[in-house]
Structure 1
């Protein structure tokens, strides 16, 4: 039996009678359709309903069962087509047929499920014997290939790359089709934050995914105000779902904008695309959208004009209360467990917007727009200073989680400030204290960095955002540890992630897993039962962790690749092939020597590309920032 899913479903059933006598086989398929939304199925309660009519027709070894949804506003139907058997019958949704096979006689029966969505029939993407490379598989195979003698890392890497290919939405044109869904089974839709973070994680290794995701997301950037959807000009889409409840506007998710990470990540990814490809034409073609998002930051993102960015939904009860990456209602709590009300000034959003301004400023400088570049870099510097003055808790040597509506610091100790290391907003003399706190036992479980310290009264290792471990967040923090020179911490974190992946089916990091401590009582971190698996940004986390250990930063406008590798003992060697920077392509081999130093060797090169290895720097120094300035000034 072969089963292929994609724009419908196709089932190929191959049967051969390998006995010495004739065989009679009977099949029955009990079928029904209710056209419930995913949310309705999860909650067990219908918010929309209508009669479903069933029609059957058959002729010469073929049959078709059709379910029509008689909703006045939804033109939906499902057709199930059968072929390859005789004497098909149907009664009350049960389709039956039989086969008579002589000795050694084969048979091939086909069942196709064809959705009819808003009146448009969609045929299954895959036909007979379709188990082969999909367009997404081919695109990823043309990207960077990683090989290593560490079997654990190789398995987890291969699974992550395969998952990103399998999650491709296959909508739009060219690279747009590689844009990944959020995850399976709950998030088979376009999620701006998830897509853009995955593009950041995997951009160097799959530049077509990054470019396609930017094209796909940009077409939905808001151009008007609509409070029902938290929609404001320049804002970047958070979620686009096409389920019945969204189409009927019983929720805001047909086009919902209630997220603050997506605008910053959109700008970061635009700068990354230029750094990877050197494609000024594409960058300039998106300039109006980038400028609109920058204008949104200052006009609506900073609603009180204090130089920091705070969120509060305008969509009422159906809007997202929390609009950072931790978007569950209870995610942002005071130190005593009370819920922080909106508006909330979240720590990592300041970092994300800082990186957006800084990287976009460098990008504009790279294409000769010096005035705009200088303005953005000055804005970034002001935000960095304001952030460090406001969020730092001297008595705890750590950053506050947020500011509450009264602009008082929320002293909760959580993982969120770790992302600020990745964005480069942390003062260098504070980076070591932040890194040390992140790796302390109350936050680092041994399997990963928890969302919340286990000393907090609301800590729960199996709560969505109150003590669980998210691979996506861990990968960003890992990038930040590398950025500030804490390679040993990064090695420990990466090993924890790879060890955790081995404990889950198919060597796959799920969306989220438990925050249990890694000890004799807990040989497993714990399963979060409702987690997506696969999840796009969990697959991307694997790629970003490898990327971080190699310290690779592309600067295509300068025909340069910054390489600052530091491999751990447990991963002493690996090879990258087909690394593309601008018009150049290289293969690189990395080898840790007996002294612990990681060598970087070019094994193949096409086109002009310079490898820049920055000089050693003290732990706590922003090594990526120093290296970027050195390359740009050359």
Structure 2
């Protein structure tokens, strides 16, 4: 996202504009008003007497509301404006814009206020790929409204623009001719409504409440969301800012798609991914569990409802497979894209079982585990019955939809992310290392669920046997002896794809790493090739494809780092985990508390600030969740039965932390910690080994 873009969102709808509040969308620009993967407004430009406006300031009031202070004219160093224009915009299903014009002169002023409006009704995939529309657009001006419609067979969408003040309405927008008295004002409320229409023009979505009521409901919901979360106090003010930003952004990204009914779960991120992503929703729910269990509960139910039940090559669907992505736009409706839903990920399915177990550990919600027993068993069967494409007992992937399916179906899903040291790309199928860790973890956690909740000790024993066998084979087949780390993947013939990557950190949090090899893995993760000072790079410096601003080949991903830090704690590397947390949280300070999807992997000594990745999503769900998991990791929060273990290991510079009213099966409990781990956060970084911390136990 460009720095001068302003984005507001609520539920299924979001608006991306420039700093003046204007929308001028190009073919591949994600500006506009979007709802359910369709752009309902591609142009929304305000002029006064034919002049564009200059922004004085933009207020980010709430995630669903912004205010723009503007003056007419642009391009001069000094603007002696006699007129102020204020646009206050709030998103509902569409948006409402309060437009106010103030006259600061001692004499009356006549003004022509115009809003140019247009809707291209582009599917989000058409925006990304600059594709042409195939349907018919039409415009109707009647009753003081501008109605723009699009139709392609039974696929119908409409945008309606109206105003509380009389306007001249034409095919290109609305115009007001006004007179404002000295030191007077004029205002109107503009209402932009969107509709998905079925046969006979019947709306496919429920009627929304009036704008004022919707705003009040959104404010009350946000206040309740924040009030229900644990309270953080600490000596490091920027950490409090980051924590509060994460809570608000997580609230903003709650998404209630049609298949979720009235419940909400995390959408993946703005602007491209405001929809369900199985992997992203699971990871974000895991990150958020110490703070709220609502996303996990809804994610488990929704993904279970839409679990695969047949073999469908177009959608890469198998029985038991958890979906990757759902879309509602035109291309999906006409099966020009497979996202109805699309199942092309290999990690969401084992992670589904991981989330179910972790959710129960935190909440004690045994009923949900029993309700979803068949879904969990189906996910575990998928690992053995459908995912072993190489015949060697490992989860592997190869898309069956060659035209529009994802080539890489792991979390690093860009085309060049899976590579050898020398930069070559392996053939298919590919079996990436971290997915084997997830499979191991899923089997171990599935065994616990079977024994404690499904009354099936025989199945539990079998899952534990399978997990032990997988761990032994994995540590034999993936270990790169000359580098003392695990290979990124196995290629089609079982050869190691030997690049050094951050994926090895995910092996720690899954528990598949042999204990005597964990120290070597921690050393690589905190070594100079992977650790930039701000965080752990996706690909090690020195590998052939390394690029500090390559999407998965050298950037730092906060989500990735948060799970790596969690894994370091699992194996006892508390100081190393604190160092990763300190780097990421320092970076968050430069982004006003909002960690982006990814940032540059440049060495900290070279940049003195984290370099923005050009097209990073922000906010993005699992980056929003990263500070939450880092807090859990630094405080050493682990549920054990009906108790919460607190074992803090904080960087010295953080000082004292108090996280109060942590929710769980124990009710509410407080956790305290003080910075004890020496972490050099300056440009010259040292690896601090050892564990100078003292554990504390509460509960």
If the length of structure 2 is used for normalisation, what is the TM-score?
Answer: 0.81
What is the aligned counterpart of 1:409 among 489, 492, 496?
496
Match of 1:381 in 2: 468
- C-alpha separation between the residues in 1 aligned to 2:234 and 2:219? 23
Residue 529 (structure 2) pairs with residue 442 (structure 1): yes
Tell me: CA distance 1:552–1:406, structure 2 relative to 1, closer, same or farther (3 Å). same
Matches within 5 A, 1:204-353: 204-353=290-439
How far, CA to CA, are the matches of 2:91 and 2:350 in structure 1? 34
Q: Which has the higher strand share?
A: 2
Instruction: Show the 5 A alignment for 1:425-464.
Output: 425-464=512-551
- Asked whether 1:49 is paired with 2:130, we answer no
**Structure 1 residue 98 displacement after superposition:** 3.3
SS at match of 2:142: strand
**1:599: how far off?**
6.4
Q: Which moved more, 1:255-264 or 1:359-368?
A: 359-368
Unaligned stretches of 5+ residues in structure 1:
603-610, 612-634
Displacement after TM superposition at 1:156 (Å): 1.2
Alignment of 1:8-19 (within 5 A): 8-15=94-101
Contact 1:7/1:122, CA 8 A, preserved across alignment: no
Instruction: Give the Cα–Cα distance (whole angstroms) in 1 for the partners of residues 261 and 458 of structure 2.
Output: 32
CA distance in 2, matches of 1:596, 1:303: 46
Cα contact 1:321–1:342 (8 A) shared by 2: no
Q: Which residue of 1 aligns with 2:176?
A: 97
- Aligned match of 2:624: 539
Deviation, 1:580, is 2.0
Cα contact 2:149–2:157 (8 A) shared by 1: yes
Q: Name which structure has the greater RCO, CA cutoff 8 Å, separation 6+.
A: 1
Using the TM superposition, name which of 219-228 and 23-32 deviates more.
23-32
Is the alpha carbon distance of 1:236 and 1:106 closer, same or farther for their aligned partners in structure 2, counting shifts above 3 Å? same
For residues 369 and 183 of structure 2, the distance between their equivalents in structure 1, rounded to whole angstroms, comes to: 62
Residue pair 2:255, 2:266 contacting (<8 A) in 1 also = yes
| Residues 344 and 399, structure 2, Cα contact 8 Å, conserved in 1 | yes
CA distance in 1, matches of 2:612, 2:407: 26
Instruction: Give the whole-Å Cα distance in 2 for the aligned partners of 1:523 and 1:333.
Output: 30
For 1:165-180, what aligned pairs fall within 5 Å after superposition?
A: 165-171=251-257, 177-180=263-266
Matches of 2:394 and 2:138 in 1, distance apart? 55
Shift of residue 196 of structure 1? 0.5
Deviations 1:538-582 (A, max 9, x none): 011111111111111123xx3122222212211232112221222
Matches of 1:178 and 1:134, distance apart in 2: 16
Match in the other structure for 1:563: 646
Shift of 1:508: 1.2
State the Cα distance separating 1:107 from its structure 2 match.
4.6
Give the Cα separation in 1 of the matches to 2:597 and 2:185. 43
Equivalent residue, structure 1, for 2:664? 581
325-334 vs 563-572, greater mean Cα deviation? 563-572
- Structure with the largest fraction of helix: 1
For 2:185 and 2:574, how far apart are their aligned partners in 1?
60
Residue 622 (structure 1) aligns with: none
CA RMSD of aligned residues (A): 2.3
Contact 2:229 2:292 in 1 (8 A): yes
1:492 corresponding residue in structure 2: 579
List per-residue Cα deviations over 1:271-293 (Å, max 9, x = no partner). Answer: 01111111111111011111111
TM-score, normalization: structure 1?
A: 0.88
Kept after mapping to 2: 8 A contact 1:54/1:93: no
Q: Which deviates more from structure 2 when the two are superposed, residues 558-567 or residues 17-26?
A: 17-26
Q: Determine the C-alpha separation between the residues in 2 that align with 1:599 and 1:388.
A: 31
CA distance in 2, matches of 1:202, 1:348: 21
Q: Trace 1:590-601 onto structure 2 (pairs within 5 A).
A: 590-592=673-675, 597-598=693-694, 600=696
CA deviation after TM superposition for structure 1 residue 417, in Å: 1.0
CA offset at residue 17 of structure 1? 5.5
Once the two structures are TM-superposed, the CA of residue 43 in structure 1 deviates from its matched residue by 3.1
> Does residue 1:196 correspond to 2:276, yes or no?
no
Distance 1:145 1:366, change over 3 A: farther
The alpha carbon displacement at 1:216 in A equals 2.2
* Matching of residue 81 in structure 1 with residue 162 in structure 2: yes
Q: Is contact 1:7-1:123 (8 Å) kept?
A: no
Q: How many residues are matched?
A: 592
1:480 to 551, 558, 567: 567
Within 5 Å, give how 1:523-538 maps onto structure 2. Answer: 523-538=608-623
The answer to whether the 8 Å contact 1:12/1:128 transfers is: no
Q: Is the 8 A contact 1:178 1:209 kept in 2?
A: yes
Asked whether the 8 Å contact 1:400–1:411 carries over to 2, the reply is yes
The structural deviation recorded for 1:100 is 3.9
